[in-house]
Structure 1
Amino acid sequence: MRYGYYLTEKKGPDPIGALRDQIAEAAADGFTSAWLSNIFGLDALTTLAVAGSQTPGIELGTAVVPTYPRHPAVLAQQAMTANAALGGRLALGIGPSHQMVIENMYGYSFDRPGRHMKEYLDILLPASRGEHVTYTGETLKADLTLTTPGAGFPVLIAALGPRMLKLAGTVADGTVLWMTGPKTVAEHIAPTINAAAAEAGRPAPRIVCSLPVCVTDDPGAAVSRANEIFEVYGRLPSYRAMLDREGAATPGDVAIVGDEKSVLGKLEELERAGVTDFVCSVFANKERTRNLLIGAAKG
């Protein structure tokens, strides 16, 4: 299992410079990848292209770029540009986001996200390889060829339900998970996506799993703190469904907390479940937690 690091957007006069330092530090510490969310702050692709271009070697991923507000060819062009700036180190994580965001905030319809994602990938994937795309779906159309440099990078879907997981296994390169514990990965995520890839004759897909992590001698307090920070994810339907599968009442119940031995045991459980890349979201006791994760990343 490879180890990645979740980047944190900082407030201040130079947020991109702060992320540049985080990426360089993650690379120096032995993490194989660094990931940035795309919510309402910095644009993740633009930021990674700028902040990550000076640190070679480490993969840089988005977790994740919402699809509905962007035509797939436009996102392909932006991702190819970022990948060119990064020398071919981009991992493009995409997802439909959530109904409350897409409909209530952006004003788009969130109707049938599974259909939307299939049509989106039907355009995005060939366009991002520099191929000519002629496509007419129920909701999306394209007839173009991109000449943008930077073609060819892994595309991962924020796939949690069966239909999305099958798409992630049959046409994309894997899935990016959040708030999804080891039981759910072992019993639902990994079997579904791996079976889809095998049936399609494709290589085993990546399962990129990110969870909150804290090394501590007071796990109860850490769980309470995680519930404060990540409370909203317990109310979003897609994540709520994964928490319910896990038997977790709150987001804090899937956080990886405990002393060094306990945390290492939980990381090993994720690897046995089928996680290929674990992305650490360190939320408390940062120095102690990061030291353990650095050791795990270096093997």
Structure 2
Amino acid sequence: MRIGINGSSLVATGASLGRLVDHAVTAERDGFASYWLGQMAIPDVLTVYAVAGGATSRIELGTAVVPTWMRHPLMLAAQALTTQEACGNRLTLGIGLAHRQIVEHAIKVPFRAPAKHMAEYLAVLGHALADRKVAVRGDIWSGEDDLSTSARSATAPPLLVAAMGPRMLGLAGGQADGTILWLSGPRTISRAISPALRAAATEAGRRAPRIVAGLPICVTDQPERVRAVINGVLSQYGQLPSYRAVLEAEGAQGPGDVAIVGNAQQVRTALAALAEAGATDFAATEFGTSGEEFLATRAVLAEVAAAGV
């Protein structure tokens, strides 16, 4: 299982472009395989990666995730291919539906037919990225264009879809390269996500899909206190239906219950359990209530990344 760092908490707290780039540079220096950022209102994550690509040389740069409703798939393809050229073909493009409450509040568009929306979005985006030419007509998303005239050194970035339910997992395995998760623990991955994803990929004749698991993680000697703080900071996820379903499937009351929290050995054991469940990657959202906890967490993650799980 490859170990990466998810810096989305910095986006949520208003970090500058320079701070985000420095965070990615540090992740590469510390030996991590990948670096992930979520797209919120601002900054534009693909623009961040165009800059970070010039400051790094090896680390994979992944979006976790870009919401589909806000960008036409042709526009996203143009942005992704430009960023891919800028970062030397190290981009992985993670996309997702986001949530009804967020979409309808932000852009005043009805959140309807989400599975059909994603299937048509992938049809346009997939051809635009892989073939550089697209002629697709759908009920929700259509596109006809030629993207072959520039960014010629850019390869099609791997495409991941945030997915939790059966229909979305079918699309992630059948039309994309896998899924990127948030708050899904080993029970959910092994029992629901991995089997459905791999079956869809096999049926479509695609290679084995990636499963990028994302969880809060903290090395601490006060686990109950840290879990309580995580529950408070991430309380909004318990109110979103899709995440509520994931937490219930894991037998968890809140995000703190699925977080990887404990001493160094307990954290190593939990990471090994994720790998055993079928996760191919772990995108760590580092958490701490003190500088010592952050340092201890980074040290264990770097140790596991170097050793492999």
* TM-score relative to the length of structure 1: 0.97
Rounded Cα–Cα distance in structure 1 between residues aligned with 2:122 and 2:129:
10
Q: Report the counterpart of residue 291 of structure 1 in structure 2.
A: 299
Deviation at 1:41, TM superposition (A): 2.8
Identity %: 46
- Matched-pair contact (CA < 8 Å) for 1:158–1:177: yes
Deviation at 1:201, TM superposition (A): 1.9
Rounded Cα–Cα distance in structure 1 between residues aligned with 2:53 and 2:244:
33
Q: Report the counterpart of residue 245 of structure 1 in structure 2.
A: 249
Give yes or no for the alignment of 1:6 onto 2:6: yes
| Mapping of residues 254-273 of structure 1, within 5 Å | 254-273=258-277
Deviation at 1:81, TM superposition (A): 0.5
- The one-letter code sitting in structure 2 at the alignment partner of 1:3 is I
Q: Report the counterpart of residue 70 of structure 1 in structure 2.
A: 71
- Matched-pair contact (CA < 8 Å) for 1:67–1:96: yes
Q: Report the counterpart of residue 226 of structure 1 in structure 2.
A: 230
Q: Report the counterpart of residue 50 of structure 2 in structure 1.
A: 49
CA RMSD of aligned residues (A): 1.3
Deviation at 1:9, TM superposition (A): 2.5
Aligned residues: 298
Rounded Cα–Cα distance in structure 2 between residues aligned with 1:131 and 1:45:
19
Rounded Cα–Cα distance in structure 1 between residues aligned with 2:296 and 2:53:
25
- The one-letter code sitting in structure 2 at the alignment partner of 1:204 is A
Q: Report the counterpart of residue 104 of structure 1 in structure 2.
A: 105
Q: Report the counterpart of residue 82 of structure 2 in structure 1.
A: 81
| Mapping of residues 162-177 of structure 1, within 5 Å | 162-177=166-181
Q: Report the counterpart of residue 198 of structure 1 in structure 2.
A: 202
Deviation at 1:105, TM superposition (A): 1.9
Give yes or no for the alignment of 1:210 onto 2:214: yes
Q: Report the counterpart of residue 183 of structure 1 in structure 2.
A: 187
Partner of 2:98, secondary structure, is coil
Structure 2, unaligned stretches of length 5 or more? none
Rounded Cα–Cα distance in structure 2 between residues aligned with 1:131 and 1:282:
37
Rounded Cα–Cα distance in structure 2 between residues aligned with 1:131 and 1:31:
31
Rounded Cα–Cα distance in structure 1 between residues aligned with 2:131 and 2:138:
20
Structure 1, unaligned stretches of length 5 or more? none
Give yes or no for the alignment of 1:95 onto 2:103: no
Partner of 2:147, secondary structure, is coil
Rounded Cα–Cα distance in structure 1 between residues aligned with 2:44 and 2:22:
17
Q: Report the counterpart of residue 113 of structure 1 in structure 2.
A: 114
Partner of 2:169, secondary structure, is helix
Rounded Cα–Cα distance in structure 1 between residues aligned with 2:132 and 2:23:
35
- Matched-pair contact (CA < 8 Å) for 1:5–1:35: yes
Partner of 1:104, secondary structure, is helix
* TM-score relative to the length of structure 2: 0.94
